[in-house]
Amino acid sequence: MNVRALAAKALYAVLEQGISLSVALPEQQKKLTNGKDKGLLAELCYGVLRVLPQLDKRVSDCLNKPFKNKQRVLHQLLLVGCYQLYFTRIPEHAAISETAEACRQLKFDGLVKVINGVLRNIQRNKAELSTDNTVLEFNTPNWLIKRLQQAYPDTWQRIIEHCHQRPPMWLRNNQISQTREQYLQSLTDAGISASKGNSKDSILLEQATDVMQLPNFVQGAVSVQDAAAQWAAWLLEPKDNELILDACAAPGGKTCHILEQAPRAQVVAVDFDDKRLDRVNENLSRLNLSARTIHGDAANIDEWWHGDKFDRILLDAPCSATGVIRRHPDIKWLRQSKDIEELAKLQAQILDHCWQWLKPGGTLLYATCSILPEENCQQIAAFLARTSDAKLEGLEEQNNPDTIGWQITPGESNMDGFYYARLKKQ
């Protein structure tokens, strides 16, 4: 299979059909057997989505007539071609001929000449990519730029820059298997360079590595998890024998971390996405941990839980994921401004309901991978205003003690963007 044709198909799924890249990419990757080709396919898709407006403009300027309907996939193919010419070290003649061949594979034989012609035109005249307006300059939709400008008047540009950087690979040491020092030594022995992160289990790899190359990965020695997400279990402070609800648990990264810290805690991991819940079970089984996994709605706990109230609740709420754009650049194009208010409403609903299921004296940790105040500090401020038995606890890690909760912005200490607020029930 031609890698460029598969990239065009994955991008068509994201941009024309609104499918997330984490679904669309594996769908195409499974048609390839070679690891290098799979890597190139990912690089082409991620790359195009990072700089989409600039590529879009360059390609559209070279087309007499835009492609429509089923032929739209050829527009995506041209984006892939243009990306190779501007952003990769692939020899230009190879980039062009492979992309033209992809057109044939996509069964548009009659348009191979057009694809070839447009790409040759771009190659001959490799003008700087346009930065004529803020969308082109920042390769980010206008609505998101505006919201970021408002939330971060002094730093929004730097935040957007970080959203475009390639994310590092973080590991979480499984403290049941070995200490972090011991695992760092195993990595050194395996010739893998790594260093410690700020939270106790986190390890930063100098270079992304196939997990199968990591010592004892299959046996559960470590997991892949961004350092920002690793703060959840530390801030929740789970204890053995406590009854703990992980209210939006899939794929289970934080569920497993909670159990690594408190292996005898009774953890109930809930998610309303059945398929994603399977991933929780897979992760638990690799790490040899056990939790009760339930397919259910966190905004309707009464429906699936008839036991005691919980000592601790982790609410890793569904959110805009604007803090993890560096890992999922498709978010920029799949989300819309109106989603933010809808998500904030949903989060408030789940938060209010979970609160009813927390024991007096219990702790609820609210988390999102968003960097927008509507989903984070404003959400918690509104919750505190309407909930008389809730008290916000300060977090040591918080950079500004006056803010409501801890907002991590992308790139801070090499982490993803994330938000935490710890609430205690009176």
Tokens linked to 232: 């959840």
The answer to whether the annotation marks 389 as part of a ligand binding site is no
The answer to whether the annotation marks 61 as part of a ligand binding site is no
Residues 25, 12 contacting (CB under 8 angstroms): no
- Contact positions with ligand SAM (CB under 6 A) in 173-232: 229
The least distance separating ligand SAM from the CB of residue 146, rounded to whole angstroms, comes to 24
The least distance separating ligand SAM from the CB of residue 294, rounded to whole angstroms, comes to 9
The least distance separating ligand SAM from the CB of residue 318, rounded to whole angstroms, comes to 4
The answer to whether the annotation marks 249 as part of a ligand binding site is yes
Tokens linked to 151: 């939330």
* Distance in angstroms (rounded) separating the CA atoms of residues 253 and 172: 10
| Binding-site string for ligand SAM from residue 10 to residue 49, where x marks contact by CB under 6 A and - marks none | ----------------------------------------
* Distance in angstroms (rounded) separating the CA atoms of residues 248 and 251: 9
Tokens linked to 61: 């300027």
The answer to whether the annotation marks 271 as part of a ligand binding site is yes
Question: Does residue 130 come out as left (phi exceeding 0), alpha (psi in the -120 to 50 range) or beta?
Answer: beta
For 166, the enclosing helix (H) or strand (E) is none
| Listed ranges 155-163, 272-280, 385-393, 414-422: which one lies at the site for ligand SAM (CB under 6 A) | 272-280
- Is residue 252 part of the contact set for ligand SAM (CB under 6 A)? yes
* Distance in angstroms (rounded) separating the CA atoms of residues 319 and 158: 22
Residues annotated as catalytic (active site), given as ranges:
369
- Is residue 254 part of the contact set for ligand SAM (CB under 6 A)? yes
Strands (E), 265-368: 266-271, 292-295, 310-316, 358-368
Residues 235, 226 contacting (CB under 8 angstroms): no
Nearer to ligand SAM, 274 or 402 (CB): 274
* Distance in angstroms (rounded) separating the CA atoms of residues 312 and 318: 19
Which residues, including other chains, have CB under 8 Å from residue 37's CB and lie 6 or more apart? 3
- Is residue 327 part of the contact set for ligand SAM (CB under 6 A)? no
- Is residue 354 part of the contact set for ligand SAM (CB under 6 A)? no
The least distance separating ligand SAM from the CB of residue 284, rounded to whole angstroms, comes to 12
The least distance separating ligand SAM from the CB of residue 223, rounded to whole angstroms, comes to 10
Given candidates 56, 201, 311, 316, which one binds ligand SAM under the rule CB under 6 A?
A: 316
The answer to whether the annotation marks 251 as part of a ligand binding site is yes
| Backbone phi and psi for residue 425, each to the nearest 5 degrees, phi listed first | -90, 130
For 29, the enclosing helix (H) or strand (E) is helix 21-29
Given candidates 49, 102, 248, 395, which one binds ligand SAM under the rule CB under 6 A?
A: 248
| Backbone phi and psi for residue 315, each to the nearest 5 degrees, phi listed first | -115, 95
* Distance in angstroms (rounded) separating the CA atoms of residues 379 and 391: 14
Tokens linked to 15: 């941009």
Nearer to ligand SAM, 100 or 270 (CB): 270
- Is residue 273 part of the contact set for ligand SAM (CB under 6 A)? yes
| Binding-site string for ligand SAM from residue 223 to residue 242, where x marks contact by CB under 6 A and - marks none | ------x-------------
Tokens linked to 21: 């890249």
Nearer to ligand SAM, 221 or 350 (CB): 350
Residues 134, 114 contacting (CB under 8 angstroms): no
The answer to whether the annotation marks 132 as part of a ligand binding site is no
Helix axes 377-386, 337-356, angle to 10 degrees: 40
The answer to whether the annotation marks 248 as part of a ligand binding site is yes
Tokens linked to 98: 């492979």
For 78, the enclosing helix (H) or strand (E) is helix 72-87
The answer to whether the annotation marks 417 as part of a ligand binding site is no
Given candidates 62, 299, 384, 392, which one binds ligand SAM under the rule CB under 6 A?
A: 299
Given candidates 135, 340, 350, 351, which one binds ligand SAM under the rule CB under 6 A?
A: 350
CB-hemisphere CA count at 13 Å for 243?
Answer: 9
Nearer to ligand SAM, 289 or 350 (CB): 350
The least distance separating ligand SAM from the CB of residue 422, rounded to whole angstroms, comes to 16
- Contact positions with ligand SAM (CB under 6 A) in 57-96: none
The least distance separating ligand SAM from the CB of residue 98, rounded to whole angstroms, comes to 37
| Listed ranges 30-38, 138-146, 296-304, 357-365: which one lies at the site for ligand SAM (CB under 6 A) | 296-304
Positions at the binding site for S-adenosyl-L-methionine: 248-254, 271, 297, 316
List interacting residues with ligand SAM (CB under 6 A). 229, 248-254, 270-273, 276, 297-299, 316, 318, 350
